[in-house]
Amino acid sequence: MRPLHFSRRLLGLLALTLCAGAFAAEPVKLPAKEKFHLYLLVGQSNMAGRGVLADQDKVAHPRVLKFTKENAWAPGTDPLHFDKPIAGVGLGSSFGRAMAEANQDVTIGLIPCAVGGTPLARWSKGGDLYQQALERAKIALKDGTLKGILWHQGESDSGNERTAASYGERLAKMVKDLRADLGAGEVPFVAGRLGEFLKRADKDGKPSHWPLVNEQIAGLPKAVFSSASVDSTGLKHKGDEVHFDSPSLREFGQRYAEAMKKLQAGKSR
């Protein structure tokens, strides 16, 4: 009798597992294309998010979705990104919630494409990450309407004075190219400044030019129409003097949302 009892238990567990798998694989219901507002998330690790996950980050807003690694829509829980196993809380989730609350009639779709430790050169036209983001965005756009692009990057370009000094010009060109390749007109572009907690020199004493990069990001609205620069003042790191902590990323996402809403309302350049 024991083998039979064991077999019945095993079959029961297998049935539950299959049911759970089928439920998890069930596609989310998408709204009409014009009611599905999409945002492209690009940059390096502080956009991808390295914040420690808490219970609140595991509960999705009912009208915020994320575009997965498999190019499918899923509830917008953290981590949104999948660039590295250490991906955690990012600014995208709080941004998405804020945008959803600002417009009760739409669903927000987040398209995560950021990759940690990457220079602007790889995000410029012709670079591998530019092409990867472009391809993912075009697939996602079959379901919705692009309403904005979020950018946070620059740490990797801070170690060299030449790349730091040319950052603004190169970023402006990337924005122009990306908008054109997406056929997105002058879709709003929001860039966040680097954390003010970054060190002025690396472990070998080599200077970091992140203040110069921040100057370039701050000047972006003068060079690119329908763009904004988001202040990082008061935001804290997670203990490594490189990555924003979870509370700061949630706050940063709110700041991005405020800047985005102003651009969409035509209240700033």
Q: Looking at the domain assignment, is residue 6 inside a domain?
A: no
Span 239-248, pLDDT tens digits = 999 999 999 9
Amino acid at 163: T
Query: In the structure encoding, which two tokens stand for residue 18, read together?
Result: 């299959």
Q: Looking at the domain assignment, is residue 250 inside a domain?
A: yes
Mean pLDDT in residue range 109-117? 98
What is the total count of domains within the chain?
1
Tell me, what's the pLDDT at 20? 40
Residue 76 has pLDDT above 60, yes or no: yes
d(CA 144, CA 108): 9
Tell me, what's the pLDDT at 11? 44
Sequence-separated (6 or more) residues with CB below 8 Å from residue 116: 44, 45, 48, 50, 83, 84
Span 13-23, pLDDT tens digits = 444 444 444 33
Q: In what order do the strands lie in the sheet with 189-192?
A: 73-75, 64-67, 107-112, 36-43, 145-152, 189-192, 227-230
Query: In the structure encoding, which two tokens stand for residue 193, read together?
Result: 């400044």
Is-contact 253 261, C-beta < 8 A?
no
Mean pLDDT for the chain overall? 91
What is the domain-level CATH number for residue 161?
3.40.50.1110
Task: Determine phi and psi for 162, rounding to 5 degrees.
Answer: -65, -50
Span 160-217, pLDDT tens digits = 999 999 999 999 999 999 999 999 999 999 999 999 999 999 778 889 999 999 999 9
Tell me, what's the pLDDT at 53? 95
Sequence-separated (6 or more) residues with CB below 8 Å from residue 163: 119, 120, 157
| Residue (of 133, 111, 135) closest to 124 by Cα position | 133
Residue 268 has pLDDT above 80, yes or no: no
Residue 171: domain span: 32-264
Residue 3 has pLDDT above 60, yes or no: no
Mean pLDDT in residue range 248-264? 98
pLDDT band at 267 (very low <50, low <70, confident <90, very high): low
- β-bridge mates for residue 110, sequence order: 39, 66
